[in-house]
Amino acid sequence: MWRVTIILVLVSLTMAVDKSVIIIGSGISGYSAASRLIENGFDDVIILEAEDRIGGRINTIPFSDGFIDLGAQWVHGQVNNIIYEMTHEHFEFGSTPFVEVPFTFLFSNGTKADQELFRTISKINFDIFLALDETDTFTGSFGEMFLEVLGEVTMNDSFPVFKDLDLKIIETMKENAERFINGYCALKSWFDMSAKLSAQEDEAGGNLHNTWKKQGFKTVFDFISKKLPDPSQHIDIDSKVQLNKKVTNINYNVIDANSKAVITCEDGSSYEAKHVIFTPSLGVLKKYHESLFTPTLPEQKVLAIKTWGFGAAGKVFLEFDEPFWSEEGEPFVAYEFLWLDADKDEAKAYNREWMLGISAFYIVDEFPNMLEAYLGGPKINQFEASSDEKIIEDCMWALEKFLGKSLPKPKAMTRSKWLSNENFLGSYSYPSMDAERAGVGIKELAESINNDNGEPILLFAGEATDEKYPGNTHAGVRSGFRAADEIISSYQ
Ligand SMILES: Cc1cc2nc3c(=O)[nH]c(=O)nc-3n(C[C@H](O)[C@H](O)[C@H](O)COP(=O)(O)OP(=O)(O)OC[C@H]3O[C@@H](n4cnc5c(N)ncnc54)[C@H](O)[C@@H]3O)c2cc1C
Ligand SMILES: *[C@@H]1O[C@H](CO)[C@@H](O)[C@H](O)[C@H]1NC(C)=O
Ligand SMILES: *[C@@H]1O[C@H](CO)[C@@H](O)[C@H](O)[C@H]1NC(C)=O
C-alpha cells in the first residue's frame, strides 16, 4: 500500500508542474532560448519552424570550396559581444580588413579617381558617422543630421580638402555616404532612420568584421548547443525542432494557471503550451500580427510593431577563375563606385537601378577568387525579382564599366532573397523616424504578456527586441536568453 501512495505522490508531483514551452522560430534567438531552457531542466520544449532548415537569418550554404553566408556573415565586435565571448577561445576568427586597407575608388566612366582625395573624404564621412553615433541630442533623421554636420565641415577651415572642391564631388560624397548607411542599416532612405534612437544603441567594441572563414556563421549553433568546445556538454536542440511548421495563430487567452496557449499551424496541426516564445522577424509581425494573435496584441505593442523600422538588404557573391582585382603588390579590399549621372540613367533604363544600392564590391575572407557586393536602398524588390542571369549580366556591366575593360565571366553566382520570403519579409530592424514620433520602441516590442498570476504566457524574442544591439546576431542570442530566463525565474 505504501508503494502505491509513493507512486501516486510522485505522479501528482510531476503532473502538477507543467513547464511546457513552445518556441516559434529556429533562428539564433529561438535556438538560444531553447538551449537555456533545456539546460535548466525544461524538457518539454518544442521549436516550430516554418522553413525547411534551422538557422533563420543565418543561412550558411556550400559555395565554391567552402561555405558562405547569405544572411549574417560577420561577428560585429569583440568586447561585449556574447557570440565572440562564447567562441573566440575555441575558434580562430578571420577578418575582412575594411578599416586597415583603403578602398579603391572608381568612376563609372572607367577612370580611377584621385585615391588620395577620396580616401580623405571617405575618412571624414566615417568620422561624421562615428560622431553622430555618440550624440543623442539631435531630433530628426540620420540623413538630415549627416548633411547638417557635413555642411559645417565643408565650411570649416580645419578641413582644407573642401576648399575649391568641385560641387559634383561633394554631391558624390553625400550619395556614397547614404549608399553605405542604407546598406549597413537596411534602409530605403537615410531620412527614415532616427538619429537620436540610433545613437542610443550600443556597438560592441574591437574589430567589427570577424569572419568564420570557410565554415560560415552556422558554426555558432554548435557553440549555442555546447557541442563545441566540449561534445560531452552537448544539449540536443535539433531533435526539438519541427521543420515546415508554419504557425498561423497563437491563442494566448488563458484563463487560469492550468490552461495553456493553443498554437495552430498552416497544416492544421495544433499544439498547447504553458509558455510561448515568439521569435519571427519584425517584418513578419508587421504583416501578420492581426491574424497571428488571439486576442489582438496590446495597443502599445501594436503601435511599436507598426512604427519601428524593418528594412531590406541584399548580397551577391561572384566566383571567378582568378582574381582581376589585386594589382601587383597593392593591398586591395574593395571597389567603391562613384556613379556619374549618365551611367545612373543607363542603369535605370535597363532595369538595373538596384545596382545603385551597392556600396562596394569587396573581397571575401579565405576565398581568393570571390567578390561580394552588399546592397540596400529602395530597389531590393527589383534585385530579388531579377533572374540569376540578369544579376550576373548587371554585375558584369557595372564592373566592366567602372574598371574600363572587359572582364572574364564569373564561373558561379549566388545571392540572397530575404524581402520576398514570407518567413522574413526583410533583413533586420532599424530605429525609425516613425517610432521616434510615436514615442514607442524596443521596450514595447520586447514586453511579455502575463496571466493574472503574473506568469509569462506570451514572450517576444528576436533581434529587434534587444535594447542594446538590435539588428545583430548577438542581439538574437541575448533576447533568447532573456526570454528563457524570464520563464525560468517565474518558477523560482
Ligand atoms: C543580409 C543580411 C546580413 C546580415 N549580416 C549580419 C552580420 O554580418 N552580423 C550580424 O550579427 N547580423 C547580421 N544580420 C542580422 C542577423 O542575421 C539577424 O539579426 C539574426 O540572425 C536574427 O535572428 P532571429 O532569431 O532574431 O530571427 P530569425 O533568424 O528570422 O528567426 C526567426 C525564425 O522564425 C521563422 N518563422 C517566421 N515565421 C514563422 C511562422 N509563422 N511560423 C514558424 N516559424 C516562423 C523563420 O523562418 C526563422 O527561422 C544580417 C541579416 C541579413 C538578412
Ligand atoms: C571620368 O569622370 C571623371 C569625373 O567627372 C573625370 O574627372 C574624368 O576626366 C573622366 N574621364 C574620362 C576618360 O572621361
Ligand atoms: C572646425 O573643426 C574643428 C575640428 O573638428 C572644430 O574644433 C571647430 O569647432 C570647427 N569650427 C567651426 C566654426 O565649426
Contact 427, 311 (CB under 8 A): yes
| Rounded distance between C-alpha atoms, residue 274 and residue 111, angstroms | 64
**Distance (Å) from CA 158 to ligand 3 centroid:** 7
Taking alpha carbons only, the member of 336, 18, 46 closest to residue 176 is 336
| Rounded distance between C-alpha atoms, residue 34 and residue 31, angstroms | 5
Q: Whose CA is nearest to atom 48 of ligand 1?
A: 56
Max CA distance (Å), the chain: 100
| Residue 138 pLDDT grade (very low, low, confident, very high; cuts 50, 70, 90) | confident
Contact 301, 349 (CB under 8 A): no
pLDDT of residue 327: 75
Q: Whose CA is nearest to atom 49 of ligand 1?
A: 56
Give the ligand 1 atom nearest the CA of 292.
41
**Distance (Å) from CA 118 to ligand 1 centroid:** 35
Q: Assess whether pLDDT exceeds 90 at residue 130.
A: no
Cα–Cα distances in angstroms (integers) from residue 100 to residues 103, 123, 140, 399, 427, in the given order:
10, 12, 32, 23, 27
Q: Whose CA is nearest to atom 3 of ligand 3?
A: 158
Q: Assess whether pLDDT exceeds 70 at residue 255.
A: no
How confident is the model over 182-214, as pLDDT tens digits? 999 999 999 999 999 999 999 889 999 999 999
| Rounded distance between C-alpha atoms, residue 103 and residue 345, angstroms | 25
Q: 47: phi > 0 → left, psi -120 to 50 → alpha, else beta; which?
A: beta
Give the count of alpha carbons within 13 A of 10, CB side only: 6
Contact 472, 220 (CB under 8 A): no
Query: Comparing 336 with 11, which gets the higher pLDDT?
Result: 336
pLDDT of residue 6: 52
Find the Cα–Cα–Cα–Cα dihedral 207, 208, 212, 214, rounded to 10°: -100
**Distance (Å) from CA 157 to ligand 3 centroid:** 8
pLDDT of residue 16: 58
Q: Is 270 in the pocket of ligand 3 (CB under 6 A)?
A: no
Percent of the chain with pLDDT over 70: 96
Q: Is 233 in the pocket of ligand 2 (CB under 6 A)?
A: no
Q: Assess whether pLDDT exceeds 80 at residue 402.
A: yes
Q: Whose CA is nearest to atom 50 of ligand 1?
A: 72
**Distance (Å) from CA 401 to ligand 2 centroid:** 13
Q: Is 158 in the pocket of ligand 3 (CB under 6 A)?
A: yes
Ligand closest to 108 (CA) is 2
Q: Is 107 in the pocket of ligand 2 (CB under 6 A)?
A: yes
Q: Assess whether pLDDT exceeds 70 at residue 150.
A: yes
| Rounded distance between C-alpha atoms, residue 108 and residue 384, angstroms | 24
Q: Assess whether pLDDT exceeds 60 at residue 92.
A: yes
Give the ligand 1 atom nearest the CA of 54.
49
Give the predicted TM-score (pTM) of the model: 0.96
Q: Give phi and psi for 97, each to the nearest 5.
A: -80, 55
Give me the residue label for grid cell 507543467.
Answer: 18
How confident is the model over 435-471, as pLDDT tens digits? 999 999 999 999 999 988 889 999 999 999 999 999 9
Cα–Cα distances in angstroms (integers) from residue 81 to residues 85, 91, 182, 204, in the given order:
6, 15, 24, 6
The number of beta carbons lying within 10 Å of the beta carbon of residue 203 is 15
Sign of CA dihedral 378, 379, 380, 382: positive
Contact 273, 21 (CB under 8 A): yes
Q: Assess whether pLDDT exceeds 50 at residue 1.
A: no
Give the ligand 1 atom nearest the CA of 374.
1
Query: Ligand 1, from 57, 83, 384: best to mutate by most atoms within 8 Å of Cβ?
Result: 57
Give the burial class of 286: count Cβ atoms within 10 A of its Cβ; 0-12 exposed, 13-18 middle, 19 or more buried: middle
Q: Is 404 in the pocket of ligand 2 (CB under 6 A)?
A: no
Q: Whose CA is nearest to atom 8 of ligand 2?
A: 111
What value does the mean pLDDT take over residues 299-321? 98
Q: For the chain, what is the mean pLDDT?
A: 94
Q: Is 109 in the pocket of ligand 2 (CB under 6 A)?
A: yes
DSSP H or E segment with residue 154: helix 142-155
Query: Ligand 3, from 127, 150, 158: best to mutate by most atoms within 8 Å of Cβ?
Result: 158
DSSP 250: E
Q: 213: phi > 0 → left, psi -120 to 50 → alpha, else beta; which?
A: left
